[in-house]
Structure 1
């Protein structure tokens, strides 16, 4: 059975990690999310979340979105070695979780192909 934990080595932790991604990212956007990504030198992908209080006011909504993104990231197996930062938009509030998951799956595929073509 697959281990569905989100270990520390799969997280972007330091401000320097986030700065690298924000400096020259490969982007993917839609109504609900903007995802930024870059290649990393590791053998696994890492995820960072930047869910702004300015765009999503209530902590409950921010936490639901963060949990959904983390869960969807964990079950992806073919991301390779990229660092990803997810930015949520105001429109993600109150949307059915199935729609958010479908949106994220589309973004993962897009980012993998775009990062591969930039290398």
Structure 2
């Protein structure tokens, strides 16, 4: 086989380069694609307070919703019961031991609704 192979007398590499003006659709597409590859991630990182968050603090005000039901019962040293409740049946059960309380509202100074 090696005897039948012909030797190479001349070789030339083919170098083709395509050029386009700045106003062509191909250049505009390449430029817009390049800009959209880099700028949106940078804007997203900037708007989210940077790439690495160094200090973080989080404070939460819990939302507490009360059913507005309560029951107080005290037993004195001579075994009598004193109390009050928002349940009418329990108040009837206490009879003479019922005590009507004075209710004050404290907001905790947060100026947010606690009810």
Instruction: Classify the TM-score, shorter chain.
Output: under 0.3
Q: Which has the higher strand share?
A: 1
Where is the helix percentage greater, Structure 1 or Structure 2?
Answer: 1
Computing the radius of gyration over CA atoms, which structure comes out larger, 1 or 2?
2
What TM-score does the superposition give when structure 1 sets the normalisation length? 0.21
**Which one scores higher on RCO, CA 8 angstroms, separation ≥ 6?**
1
